[in-house]
Structure 1
Amino acid sequence: MTKDGGGADLIPGLDDLPRAPAGGAGRASGAGGKAGAGGRRGAKKGARRPADDLPVARVAVDMSLPHLDRPFDYLVPAELAAKAVAGCRVRVRFAGQLVDGFLLERVAESDHEGRLAYLERVTSSEPVLTPEIAALAREVAVRYAGTFADVVRLAVPPRHARVEAEPVPEGGPVPEGGPAAEGGPAPGGEPEEADAAEAGGWAEYPAGASFLGALEAGRAPRAVWTALPGDGWAPAIARAVAAALAGGRGALVVVADGRDVARVDAALAAELGEGRHVALTAELGPAERYRRWLSVLRGRARAVVGTRAAMFAPVADLGLVVLWDDGDDVHAEPHAPYPHPREVLALRAHRTGAGALIGGFTRTTDATRLVESGWAHALAADRARVREAMPRVRYVGEDAQLARDAAARTARLPNVAFEVARGALAEGPVLVQVPRRGYVPGIACGRCRSPARCTACQGPLALSSSHAAPYCRWCGRIAGDWHCPECGFFQVRAVVVGAKRTAEELGRAFPGVPVRTSGREAVLDRVGPERALVVSTPGAEPSAEGGYRAGLLLDGWVLLGRPDLRAGEEALRRWMNAASLVRAGAPVVVAAEGSLPPVQALVRWDPVTYAERELAERREVGFPPAARMASLTASPAAIRELLADARLPDGAEVLGPVPVPQAGAGDGPERERALVRVPSAAGQALARALKEAQGVRSARKAAETVRVQVDPLELI
């Protein structure tokens, strides 16, 4: 594998990754040993002969085995010479079987000394794997100790032959820019720049106009954006996209879920006009999603918005990448090699010379590290403007407050919150955030308080309604005859109350007021200005016309008490996302201890200081993102074998292994988890060592695969 120079060390944690040649994945000397086993030049098939021009194709075979993670050389038959283009899908014979692959490039000759097999056929001549995405996939595979094939599966959607065969609309690529870009920049630049900043709400940020101006000039500004509360974030993103298009380059926006896609989609349509961008979500279905993806590939759409899978969208001449709410755990990719959009988009911005905008109402420690390193600049409003836009936050939970409200020691809705809700309901809707979904997701013995467990699998018991029998959350078994194994008592009490039970209690506390719920079963997108109590789980809060008149953030201890390194950061993110839906100056009550740093950051509406403090503390103890980590999950024997084979870099520290909790008693073999920690500068060396060790185990056909995850979201 060759390198095209360094430079990725400018991005914190993206440690000077090896570069692939322009054709895609790096070539391996002698590649094609197995591929050539069944091929002969010319022979039994008689009519087959190599193509006259560039007869050798380098193919990335769709195989996830680490020791085969390299391109293989094949001969291009003359009859397929016109169809076999770089980036197309092909079928090849590999180890006696027909498998899929991607043709990375065609060359004049091969370094392989043996005979080469022919391409069996070209599945589609559409060049779906562009050189930029192929090179990006190789870098992502290196960074996350994965394989090129696994990354390409995430980057290129499955083929839909009928969609590919549809006639291409006439007219060529859509024009850059939109209504905001018509006429081009003024000679002096400043009046147009100011108007553009005002149109997108960027004038509220001191550096907003200069950020847009740099995009329109074709430069590559990089910013970590702390957005003001309210619903102006989507129009602001749309204005930034329009600026990038006006500069003659494309734009890519990645958000957390379909509701955010819909908001940005509507904002882009208003800013750019219809037909100038595409939205990519899983809800579209395979045919429509592939149709839109092809429109991006063919250059008919220069702007894209979508969920995490869109981070690999083949936008031509990329000029801006945007990631909204990068701390949302929905961004975490559940499939190997588990890349995060923040790192992938940062790599794309670095490789293509594009601008980057990482935004949210709060700020993650990972984004703070980008600012501290100088890779990106902070983009935020001044404190006076923040105070004007923020709601009025207060907390309940200190002893002095509880002394004035004795019933609040046991009630889930203290008197302070009750009075706030009652006063706000006279004007409009009130938002109530509850951390747990369901009715009563946790119960215990009514006498001795021992947790109620399933007798079959030892899973936690829960209640689905006030009249239902307890059931197991793991195996679903009904426990109608449950009794406490400690004291024999047969009645239960609620330990944790969910959103449904909260809605039921609020309905009794506020008779005559409509109570609406938004959660896993049914997510509301928007509510009207009429009076109502809207009970929602985190992330499912609907926006309200004109903003909520008040917000209640209940059971703060549930979020803050999670056994997770990011518990405080995640609690603050969820609180601020909900409070941002409340109109400026309206009351927000959070049920949590006021002395805790996340609560203080919410009261002051100062997520930046909290993130900087959190990063400094993690740097002292060697936790991510100040250090790089990898988790290894498998049986104890498999973890020991992998660590024995891995040539870990100097300074590597192995933590554990420790047992992984099972879903039920006796479910499957014993599994453990080990963490490997290295300094940030050794991140690439750690990924390479783990990849090589995986390759050794794969080559000797180890019976068990070790799940390797670099930079895991959860460490505990």
Structure 2
Amino acid sequence: MSARSEPGEGLLFDLPRAKEKARAAGRKPPPRRRPAAELSVARVIVDIPLPHLDSPFDYRVPSTMDADAVPGCRVRVPFKGQHLDGFLLERVAESEFRGRLEYLDAVVSAEPVLSPEIRDLARAVADRYAGTLIDVLRLAIPPRHARVEKAPAEPPDLPPLTAPEPGPWRDYPAGPGFLAALRDGGAPRAVWSALPGPDWADAVAVAVASTVAAGRGAVVVAPDGRDVEVLDAALRSRLGANRHVALTASLGPEERYRRWLAVRRGHVPAVVGTRAAMFAPVHDLGLAVVWDDGDDVHSDPHAPYPHARTVLSMRAHRSDAALLVGGFTSTTDGLALVESGWARPLAAPREVLRGRAPVIRAAGDDAELARDEAARSARLPSVALRVAREAARNGPVLVQVPRRGYLNSLACARCRAPARCPGCQGPLALRSAHAMPYCRWCGRIAGEWRCPDCEHARLRASVVGARRTAEELGRAFPSLPVRTSGREEVLTEVGERPALVVATPGAEPRAAGGYAAALLLDGWALLGRADLRASEEALRRWCNAAALVRPAGEGGQVIVLADAALPVTQAFIRWDPMGFAERELAERRELGFPPAVTMASVTGEAAHVRELVDELTLPEDAELLGPVPVLGAPESAGTERALLRVPRGGARRLSASLKAAAAARSARKDDRLAQVRVDPLDVV
């Protein structure tokens, strides 16, 4: 099988880079290049998001701009009475357009910010997600900062880098072979089930250092800024100074563009960053890494909504580069790559895993709380309360709460019916102990609420948030400090002293030396969501929290409040995410759900969705589901969604059909466009 096979169709560790072919290619006479003056036509992609205009337009290059109008630079062009920005894709001698060509207005910057690799990748991503090239380029290339471009910058004079020893990869039987392939310039592809503990960042840094030592570049994408900080420190330790940059949204536009430009100019071989770093223009990409690929923040919220895992898989394929998809759990999407043969699993033996993982036990659900009077105030069964008290003598205890806020959902205290707003029927909530109930949809205060079923006027908590949990734990543990970490205020790290740390998923701070124990509350809130990936997401959040706890040999314990009979709970207790992913993927294959199939959604006002669906020329193996109303907040009233399903290999054909229909409507100046998403996160 060739290294150029598509993701899902190839091999892994035994794909060395074809050095002999490269040398042979070097012996061929270079092609004759025309002088720039002869290439008088510029092909420009204009910043117009309309689907029917998603193609390059030809312009004449004035002689005064001949030297600056280089492929990849930013230009300004006349377009239908306007002056719009764009990117110069290439220079050619003649245009196929037989009419009169307009001239370029200006070369905004002679800096070639769009490399050929990113240009071709962006085109492929746009086609894969039924989007436009300019939409992808808007995600890939940051806004220009003129002062940064004009500032002199020389590449740093760095000593040669020696490939590191395997280090943490020795715990994985295939780890040393994976690194050896990177050092030899190969293209190994692996789905990595990382061991619990803090070594994951150093393992990524060793893989990156092995790639850089071989003379190639690396891109590492993590879900959030905190993970990027950890990886940044690990890379600095392994690579030294000036060999990598970190790109995050927290950087100002000037600093971010300065770092991005250093990568584009070839001064820096490695990049670590959040979602947008998937398009970082490193030279000669040798390794792409995506950490915790199940986190939904890897899916860009802007059109055409690409996912970092898919983009990096495509990029690794196109660049003959290695790919490492890692996390403490295995996603069904990652497992699909393994089952196709395009990637291989990379996991530690069970005996090594047992030595690294904490002891995990399930403590039932809210029914057990109802029978346990002593634990009601803290919403913890007696076993969890006992574990927390014992563990708090030796260090901090983590308490994971699925919801932020105070009381996010209320119910009638008598009949348990959900409390709804009298105006819009949205869910009622409380912001604090002394606040009045309010509607989470319309914001209306519901101080005189009465249950429409039984006329009772008192409310009870249905879903408890992190702040209320912190209050309850403070009463149950009066001698311990209680700290909170959530979206509003994220803690990065806590010390070794005893404390209770209440955090929402993804905001758990690291603890020096690891947590003595972790309590994972309200498992029903994660598992009861109407979401195809509810169980998979619950396992991911649980494992990410448990990975912060000390190993069982050091007394580390985890208590999860969930039904012990559920397959996902059993997988967590055994720490078997790969086995659970195999079960999930098999069930989805039977039911025809992603990633066993490819799906796309069309969402919008009912008439607009039906009009677009009626214009589709679908592949023969495509299946249309719906349209059906979208239920939820008031703004979704009148909104419908249609789902389209094709076999896994039909993604390109489905995307082409969706894009053709959208382009036809756009060409008719029909601006009533419905939202089109390929691989939507929510399909249930």
The question of a shared fold, defined as TM-score above 0.5 by the shorter chain, is answered with yes
**Cα distance in structure 2, aligned partners of 1:386 and 1:401:** 31
SS at 1:378's partner residue? strand
SS in structure 1 of the partner of residue 346 of structure 2: strand
| Alignment of 1:79 onto 2:76 | no
Alpha-carbon deviation of 1:403? Answer: 11
CA distance in 2, matches of 1:502, 1:569: 25
Shift of 1:8: 4.8
2:312 paired residue number: 345
| Residues 1:233 and 2:200 aligned together | yes
* Equivalence for 2:165: 196
CA deviation digits over 1:17-73, x for unaligned, max 9?
xxxxxxxxxxxxxxxxxxxxxxxxxxxxxxxxx983200010001111111111011
CA distance in 2: counterparts of 1:360 and 1:532, whole angstroms: 27
Gap change, CA 1:266 and 1:491, over 3 Å in 2: same
Distance 2:322 2:3 in 1: 19
Partner of 1:28: none
Query: 1:94 Cα shift?
Result: 0.8
Q: Distance in 2 between matches of 1:480 and 1:261?
A: 45
Following superposition, the deviation at residue 456 of structure 1 comes to 3.4
TM-score computed with the length of structure 2 as normaliser: 0.93
Contact kept? 2:190, 2:325, Cα under 8 Å: yes
**2:594 — aligned with what?**
624
Q: Distance in 1 between matches of 2:344 and 2:158?
A: 30
Q: Which residue of 2 aligns with 1:696?
A: 664
Quick one: distance in 2 between partners of 1:12 and 1:645? 32
Match of 2:100 in 1: 115
Which position in structure 1 is the counterpart of 2:122?
Answer: 137
RMSD between aligned alpha carbons? 2.0
Deviations 1:140-163 (A, max 9, x none): 000000000100000001111121
> Counterpart of 2:559 in structure 1: which amino acid?
V
In structure 2, the residue matched to 1:587 is: 557
Q: Which amino acid aligns with 2:450?
A: H
- Equivalent positions of 1:179-194 (< 5 A) are 180-181=162-163
Deviations 1:192-214 (A, max 9, x none): xxx7112xx11111111111111
1:6-155 aligned at under 5 Å gives the runs 7-11=4-8, 52-155=37-140
Q: CA deviation at 1:282?
A: 0.8
Q: State the partner residue of 2:26.
A: none
Structure 1 residues 174 and 300, CA gap change in structure 2 (3 angstroms):
farther
**1:406: Cα distance to partner?**
6.9
In the TM superposition, what are the counterparts of 1:158-237 in structure 2 within 5 Å?
Answer: 158-168=143-153, 170=154, 172=155, 175=158, 178=161, 180-181=162-163, 196-198=165-167, 201-237=168-204
Whole-angstrom distance in 2 between the partners of 1:629 and 1:176: 49
Identical counterparts, % of pairs: 63
Residue by residue over 1:394-416, the C-alpha shift from the partner in whole angstroms, topping out at 9 and shown as x without a partner, is 11118997899576699720000
Q: Does 1:412 align with 2:409?
A: no
Change in Cα spacing, 1:506 to 1:411, as seen in structure 2 (3 Å) is closer
Q: Tell me by how many angstroms 1:473 deviates.
A: 1.5
Do the aligned residues in 2 keep the contact of 1:513 with 1:531 (CA within 8 Å)?
yes
Instruction: After superposition, give the CA deviation of every residue in 1:259-315 in whole Å (9 maximum; x if it has no partner).
Output: 000000011111111221100001011111001000000111101000000000000
**Residue 537 (structure 2) pairs with residue 570 (structure 1):** yes
Q: Which residue of 2 aligns with 1:640?
A: 610
C-alpha distance in 2, partners of 1:671/1:154? 27
* 2:336 aligned with 1:369: yes
Match of 1:251 in 2: 218
Shift of 1:352: 0.7
Q: Does 1:468 align with 2:468?
A: no
Distance 2:305 2:48 in 1: 17
**Aligned partner of 1:604: which letter?**
R
Paired residues of 2:365 and 2:561 also in contact (CA < 8 A): no
Look up the equivalent residue of 1:709 and give its one-letter code: R
Match of 1:267 among 226, 234, 241: 234
What is the CA deviation profile of residues 159-194 of structure 1, one whole-angstrom value per residue up to 9, with x for unaligned ones? 1112111112x3x3564864x44xxxxxxxxxxxxx
From 654, 659, 676, the counterpart of 2:644: 676
Contact 1:176–1:248 (8 Å) recurs in 2: no
SS at match of 2:329: coil
Mapped pair 1:713 → 2:681: yes
Change (3 A) 1:676 1:81: same
Quick one: structure 1 residues 714 and 400, their matched pair in 2 at CA, closer, same or farther if it must change by over 3 Å? closer
In 2, the alpha carbon distance for the partners of 1:91 and 1:583 equals: 57
Is 1:601 aligned to 2:586, yes or no? no
Contact 1:223 1:377 in 2 (8 A): yes
Q: 1:106 to 1:400 in 2, by over 3 A?
A: closer
Q: Which runs of 5+ in 1 are unaligned?
A: 14-49, 182-194
Secondary structure of the residue that 1:9 maps to in structure 2?
coil
- Displacement of 1:377 in angstroms is 1.1
Secondary structure of 2:677's aligned partner: strand
Q: Is the 8 A contact 1:176 1:302 kept in 2?
A: no
Distance in 1, Cα, partners of 2:222 & 2:365:
37
Structure 2 unaligned blocks of 5 or more: 11-34
Give SS of 2:286's match.
strand
TM-score normalised per structure 1: 0.89
- Is 1:530 equivalent to 2:497 in the alignment? yes
Question: CA, structure 1 residues 522+177, in 2 after alignment: closer, same or farther (shift >3 Å)?
Answer: farther
SS of the counterpart of 1:631?
Answer: strand
